[in-house]
């Protein structure tokens, strides 16, 4: 999260590219009380490219700028306190500075503040406040806030449950490339929640998410290839995506992969691999997956192919 914020600030600010006159000019202006220069100097010390990285100096100059009301500096100061960089970790101070920045309309600070309220760090857990700040940030186009806002609408946390609004915000976030939002949007199209059921759209968004490494999306993409939902049946692609997901620890994918190896669909039959993945699913899955895995294990006597662990 911090790297993305810094990159954005570096693009917005003119950061000196050498340790010569430009750096000295920025330092002189900062020492004279220029809030913009103080922010730039904080970034210079934080990045450690123009001079040696120094978290304490970064914190010092961010604070100087933040105390003058610079919203970007307030955000960065909050991040430093949250991460414990240049100072002891202090979630209450993080919330304090996030709030200062958020109240000036800074989208990243609004998102961070919403997150602190959602998880109850540095403040009491408050879903209504989390919803409020996520919404503020989402309306400014912050993809992560749009996804979290969609999630709150989907669950009815901090607001009345509204699956159409959940769909709306997932779509906003998904279109910006957020993998979790792409998975959630795919799921809504697949189940027909908040929109009409549409397997082709579900397949499209699951694929987008899967290609970014989302294990749940990889499993669903494999399932859709296997069943021919929203695409032509393709057992080899089903195997490929189930394997991707299973290797990340998705229990449903591990169970499906075990069955694929047993049936030899999309790959060669391999009873040892079938036993391996069914055991994995049993050990890592919840009650429902464990039950299916045990039934399959017993029915096909997979203990005969299982290697000692």
Pair of tokens at residue 83: 């991460």
pLDDT at res. 309: 55
Pair of tokens at residue 309: 């662990």
> In sequence order, which residues have a C-beta less than 8 Å from that of residue 181 and are 6 or more positions away?
143, 146, 147, 150, 170, 171, 172, 173, 174
pLDDT at res. 307: 76
pLDDT at res. 241: 98
pLDDT of residue 12 exceeding 60, the answer is: yes
Higher pLDDT, 36 or 19: 36
Give the whole-number percent of the chain exceeding pLDDT 70: 93
The answer to whether 38 touches 65, Cβ cutoff 8 Å, is yes
pLDDT at res. 285: 76
Task: Look at the block and give the residue holding tokens 């100097």.
Answer: 41
pTM of the predicted model as reported, rounded to 2 decimal places: 0.92
The predicted-structure confidence for 185-226, as pLDDT tens digits, reads as follows 999 999 999 999 999 999 999 999 999 999 999 999 999 999
pLDDT of residue 86 exceeding 90, the answer is: yes
Q: What is the mean pLDDT of the chain?
A: 94
The predicted-structure confidence for 69-78, as pLDDT tens digits, reads as follows 999 999 999 9
* pLDDT confidence tier of residue 33, bands split at 50, 70 and 90: very high
SS3 299: helix
Average pLDDT over residues 125-137: 98
pLDDT at res. 6: 62
Average pLDDT over residues 146-174: 98
How many CA atoms are closer than 13 Å to the CA of 147, on its beta-carbon side? Answer: 16
pLDDT of residue 5 exceeding 60, the answer is: yes
The answer to whether 152 touches 130, Cβ cutoff 8 Å, is yes
The predicted-structure confidence for 215-266, as pLDDT tens digits, reads as follows 999 999 999 999 999 999 999 999 999 999 999 999 999 999 999 999 999 9
pLDDT at res. 146: 98
The answer to whether 82 touches 113, Cβ cutoff 8 Å, is no
pLDDT at res. 13: 65
Higher pLDDT, 284 or 92: 92
pLDDT at res. 232: 98
* pLDDT confidence tier of residue 278, bands split at 50, 70 and 90: very high
pLDDT at res. 50: 81
């Amino acid at each position: 999260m911090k790297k993305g914020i810094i990159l954005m600030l570096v693009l917005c600010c003119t950061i000196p590219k050498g340790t010569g006159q430009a750096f000295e000019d920025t330092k002189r202006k900062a020492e004279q009380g220029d809030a913009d220069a103080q922010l730039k100097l904080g970034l210079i010390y934080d990045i450690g490219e123009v001079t040696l990285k120094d978290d304490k100096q970064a914190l010092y100059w961010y604070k100087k700028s933040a105390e003058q009301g610079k919203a970007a500096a307030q955000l960065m100061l909050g991040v430093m306190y949250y991460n414990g960089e240049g100072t002891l970790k202090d979630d209450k101070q993080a919330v304090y500075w996030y709030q200062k920045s958020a109240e000036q309309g800074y989208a990243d600070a609004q998102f961070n503040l919403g997150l602190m309220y959602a998880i109850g760090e540095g403040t009491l857990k408050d879903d209504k406040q989390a919803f409020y700040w996520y919404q503020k940030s989402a309306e400014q186009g912050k993809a992560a806030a749009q996804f979290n806002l969609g999630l709150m609408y989907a669950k009815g946390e901090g607001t009345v449950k509204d699956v159409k609004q959940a769909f709306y915000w997932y779509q906003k976030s998904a279109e910006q490339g957020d993998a979790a939002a792409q998975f959630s949007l795919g799921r809504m199209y697949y189940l027909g929640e908040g929109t009409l059921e549409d397997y082709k759209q579900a397949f499209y968004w699951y694929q987008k998410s899967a290609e970014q490494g989302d294990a749940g999306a990889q499993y669903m993409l494999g399932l859709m290839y296997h069943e021919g939902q929203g695409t032509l049946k393709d057992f080899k692609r089903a195997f490929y995506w189930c394997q991707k997901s299973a290797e990340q620890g998705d229990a449903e994918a591990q169970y499906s992969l075990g069955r694929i190896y047993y049936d030899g669909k999309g790959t060669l039959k391999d009873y040892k691999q079938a036993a391996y993945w069914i055991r994995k699913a049993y050990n890592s899955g919840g009650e429902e997956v464990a039950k299916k895995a045990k039934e399959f294990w017993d029915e096909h006597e997979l203990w005969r192919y299982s290697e000692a662990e």
